[in-house]
Structure 1
Amino acid sequence: MGIAVNKESIKFRGFYSQGDGSGFSAMVDIPKLVNAVANQSWKDYAPMQEFNFDVPQTDRRVMALVSGGLLPSEPQIISRSRQFGVVTNVGISEVIRDGKTHDNIFEELDKLEEWLRSVAEILNRHLYTSLEKQYDFLTSDTAIKESLLTNEYLFTADGRSANHLVELNKRTSKN
């Protein structure tokens, strides 16, 4: 989709307590991301997934500059350092050419950065929700029972591990 996530940057803490959340950092290819949002490209690998992404309402001339690689240099999604969540940076704080500040371009880039932030927040919410669902499943009675049966764990009547007793029985039987 035009978002290259740095897997080592993914962090989370959860679940069900105040302050829990997630975050990630990524480099962004804005033209590719805009195209992916317009075409709902994520459905190629997750056909049932719904995201409420909007196509950015950025001036087409500024988008042409971005697509041509002229603006901005390194757009990115940045995981917050002291808390969870994401922030964005399109890589440019002001546009200057011939000693002039081009406020109109800056305003459009500001809109683009706000759009990128909304996309990043939607993806971050999806990340956290996915982790929460996986946690809930892995700690469910069904998953624990399945793991115990699959791994053939044995227990005594009072709930202690009996796997060492099987090994002891095997050694005793050989003697």
Structure 2
Amino acid sequence: MSEVIEITVYRLDELSDAARDKARVWYREGGFDDDWYDAVYEDFQRVAEILGLDLKTRPVRLMGGGTRQDPCIWFRGFSSQGDGACFESWYSYRKHAPRRIREYAPQDTELHRIADALQAIQCRNFYQLRADASHRGHYYHEYCMAISVERDSPTAQDMTVDAEETIIEALRDLARWLYRQLEREYDYLSSDDVVDEAIIANGYTFTEAGQRFG
């Protein structure tokens, strides 16, 4: 025999502090959009292009059966050993990168430093250095990038002794920079104020104990 059960539900601002915290935990665990990091990825792609990186792509299957090409960028975070970010890319000299990166991100001194380091080592090698960065292993951090460096010299001239190490470290520094941007964006989106705004905007309701209801 069926029966009707009545239950009182509450909006977030009607909950006790403890119940509100429980509601926030629910949202952080399952309410985040899958593409919360898209803006960070888009910014990174622009930064990469300015610095001379041509990000590799991979096919991603769409719900409708087609595919799209996504950049080869990966990360894992944000509180475990081994967390980080990495990418796959080809790199070659890009004119005016230090000036252009300062125009694009005038306050970001780390990007300025990376651009300056790449410019300086390219200058010492007549702007002939190239690199290939690929992901390896099962983790996603800067040391999961296998980076090979060569000098594309028409006279087969060797690269300077510091060229390989400088390019490798600059690309790994860029992966570290990307991870910090992702972490900063995640911390912002998971802050109490932003989570509360999202819950209220979506009209979610909860039981008195803070369990998601509707």
TM-score normalised over the length of structure 1: 0.66
SS in 2 for 1:75: strand
* Contiguous gaps of at least 5 residues in structure 2: 1-49, 57-69
Runs (4 or more) in structure 1 with deviation over 6 Å come to 94-97
Which residue of structure 1 lines up, in the alignment, with residue 84 of structure 2? 21
Instruction: Provide the aligned C-alpha RMSD in A.
Output: 2.8
Mean alpha-carbon deviation: is it higher for 149-158 or for 48-57? 48-57
Name the count of aligned residue pairs.
Answer: 143
**What is the alpha-carbon distance in structure 2 between the residues aligned to residue 96 and residue 5 of structure 1?**
25
> Is 1:149–2:212 an aligned residue pair?
no
- Describe how 1:1-175 pairs up with structure 2 within 5 A: 1=50, 2-6=52-56, 7-30=70-93, 32=94, 35-37=96-98, 39=99, 41-51=100-110, 52-53=113-114, 54=117, 55-57=119-121, 60=124, 62-63=125-126, 66=128, 75-83=131-139, 84-85=141-142, 86-91=145-150, 105-108=157-160, 111-163=162-214
Which residue of structure 2 lines up, in the alignment, with residue 173 of structure 1? none
**What is the alpha-carbon distance in structure 1 between the residues aligned to residue 153 and residue 54 of structure 2?**
26
Query: Displacement, 1:117?
Result: 1.3
**What is the alpha-carbon distance in structure 2 between the residues aligned to residue 22 and residue 136 of structure 1?**
16
**What is the alpha-carbon distance in structure 2 between the residues aligned to residue 95 and residue 27 of structure 1?**
17
**Closer, same or farther in 2 for the Cα pair 1:29/1:57, shift >3 Å?**
closer
Of structures 1 and 2, the one scoring higher in RCO (CA 8 A, sep 6+) is 2
Which protein has the larger Cα radius of gyration, Structure 1 or Structure 2? 1
Query: Displacement, 1:146?
Result: 1.0
**What is the alpha-carbon distance in structure 2 between the residues aligned to residue 48 and residue 111 of structure 1?**
28
Task: Give deviations 1:78-129, integer Å, cap 9, x for gaps.
Answer: 333344213422346x9796xxxx6xx3242x53332221221221111111
* Contiguous gaps of at least 5 residues in structure 1: 67-71, 164-175
